[in-house]
Chains A and B, each alone.
Chain A
Amino acid sequence: MGRSTGIYVIIALLLAVLPFVYDDRIILSLVMQVFIFGIFAMSYDLLLGFTGIVSFGHAMFFGIGAYSVAIVLNQNEATLFYLLLGTLLAVAVAGIVSFIAGVLTLRLQSHFYAMLTLALAGLFMVAAEKMRSLTGGNEGFVLMVPDMFIDTSGPTLYLTCLIVLVVFFFLVRRFTQSPVGKVLMAIRENEQRVESIGFSIMYYKVIASMISGIVASIAGVLYVLSLQFVDTSVFATDVTLDALLMTIIGGVGTLVGPIIGAGIIEFAHHWLSDLADVHWIFKRWIILFGIVYILAVIFFPRGIVGTLQEIWIKRKYKKQQGKEATKDKNEAAS
């Protein structure tokens, strides 16, 4: 086990113990939201940070996950079987939609993918509004969930979200460290160069689009379980914007950064919202968040994790060069 893996496992174990030693249900719910949005932001990082693809409609996959499970549970019994069936449906639909979006646009410049995903997210939102009998329209609907998840701030759902986050974190990390992952990173750097090495960039970009879409749909599944309610807001551009900001603040292309970014945004949202009582201007928490964002960009231009990684690498090589210089001097002296 590598050093970083060990640190992640220890943090995960500490988080797993949290609901048994700390009983503030609001904070526990908030931490659970961090897990869910951490998965979602991580899926966005796979696209933006690792492959260089910008999506303006990533919320579509989140919404697909949320609605697939909600509709399956609503139309059938609220059992674990139907929850798994809904999850499989979410994965299948997200996989197909991301494949189609990728095949249609990823051979073109990246803004075509961004615009198509934005359009598709809008299309899904309209469809969810219009198919009232199935989706409850704009108002959405409350759903029954399997008994084990009824307590939305209880340890079962909390631990489920944590386990899913940990499993997907290690799976996605393994993927990014695989040869395919390295090709994706190379595509982000220089598409033409990757092609002239002998890789079909279209093929690799579609793989990234599909994996990212599927992981985002899993976040949507957990989100609907945590709220036991779904409405069309899951397809909103704000959801994509949140993922984008979480990724940028945490560190693009770092995987763990977006999870930290999710934590910062969720907690900032929670605490800064209280300032609305101090002055009416703070009712729009996004104003405060804008300031936090500007400060983060000034002091951590590559995101928090990205900037720290950069400093660490520079120090490491400075030390190495210093050692080599001393060695050369000693050799010259002798």
Chain B
Amino acid sequence: MMKALLELHDVQTYIDQYHILHDISFEVPKGEVTVLLGRNGAGKTTTLRTIMGLNPAAKGSVQYNSEDITKLSPYKIAKKGIGYVPEDQGIFEGLTVGENMRVAMKKENESTHERMEWVLDLFPDLKTFWKKPGGQLSGGQKQMLAIARAYMNENELLLIDEPSKGLAPIVVEKVMESIQQMKERTTIVLVEQNFLMASRIGDQFYILDDGQTVHQGAMEELQENETLRKKYLGIA
């Protein structure tokens, strides 16, 4: 296995008085797609938010490139090279598609222009609706914009939360294709309920249950282990 880019050790997180994450530990190897699986309420989204510092860990540690980022503020964590695509997409609805992209770009240079071209080739719809406010896009277009935006900077790690949620199958296919392509350039942590999608993209998986990591392995293992899928994911 390659060197871990991200490591979580015994992470515990509270949201207000609620203890959401009890004991989360996992490693994300560089260049791979790590999928976090689990039923609703297992703590997958909170885990991503904890990594980003949006719901900071009360105990345990988050290490990125061997550096402790547990107590850093979100903008400092983002500056380290971690991109985040939240569950609700986080589109700036009053800004146009172009403005959404430019805000995410932070600085303009040759590399970001090259990325912009690549992303627009991947999602030509964004080019068509370049001047349209983000709030007027369809669900699929918003998801494409959210993913494209996270890719605008030279992020070494992308955290993507349920990219297929609420999308039509044809759009899910498109989103999946785009993540497949990004996989070649970036390390990804993917939270996904759609097992078919997760199994096609993922290299390794962690199953979360009641705020704890309860199982891990290679994606092929989970595809073959029906008992495990039934027990933790409720699917045959």
Interface residues of A (CB under 8 A from B): 179, 182-183, 185-186, 188-190, 192-201, 253, 313-314, 317
Do A196 and B95 touch (CB < 8 A)?
Answer: no
- Give the docked Cα–Cα distance between A123 and B132 (Å): 45
Interface centre among A185, A186, A317 (most CB of B within 10 A): A186
Least distance between B200 CB and chain A CB atoms (Å): 27
Least distance between B98 CB and chain A CB atoms (Å): 10
Q: Which residues of B contact A195 (CB under 8 A)?
A: 54, 73-75, 78
Interface residues of B (CB under 8 A from A): 52-54, 73-75, 77-79, 84, 86, 90, 92-95, 99-100, 102-104, 106, 129, 132-133, 136, 149, 153
Q: Which residues of A contact B74 (CB under 8 A)?
A: 192, 195-196
- Give the docked Cα–Cα distance between A313 and B84 (Å): 30
- Give the docked Cα–Cα distance between A190 and B93 (Å): 9
Q: Which residues of A contact B133 (CB under 8 A)?
A: 313
Q: Which residues of B contact A192 (CB under 8 A)?
A: 54, 74, 90
Do A193 and B86 touch (CB < 8 A)?
Answer: yes
Do A186 and B54 touch (CB < 8 A)?
Answer: no
Residue of B nearest to A195 (CB): B74
Do B92 and A196 touch (CB < 8 A)?
Answer: no
Q: Which residues of B contact A186 (CB under 8 A)?
A: 92, 95, 100, 103
User: What would 28 A/B residue contacts be, using CB atoms closer than 8 Å?
Assistant: A182-B99, A182-B103, A183-B103, A185-B92, A185-B94, A186-B95, A186-B100, A188-B94, A189-B92, A189-B93, A189-B95, A192-B54, A192-B74, A195-B75, A195-B78, A196-B52, A196-B53, A196-B74, A196-B75, A196-B84, A198-B75, A198-B78, A198-B153, A199-B106, A200-B73, A200-B75, A314-B136, A317-B136
Task: Knowing A190-B90, A195-B78, A198-B153 are in contact, say whether A313-B102 is a contact too (CB < 8 A).
Answer: no
Do B136 and A313 touch (CB < 8 A)?
Answer: yes
Do B94 and A196 touch (CB < 8 A)?
Answer: no
- List 5 A-B pairs, minimum CB-CB distance, nearest first: A198-B78, A193-B90, A189-B92, A195-B74, A186-B92
Q: Which residues of A contact B77 (CB under 8 A)?
A: 196
Contact of A185 among B84, B86, B95, B106 (CB under 8 A): B95
- Give the docked Cα–Cα distance between A186 and B90 (Å): 10
- Give the docked Cα–Cα distance between A260 and B173 (Å): 48
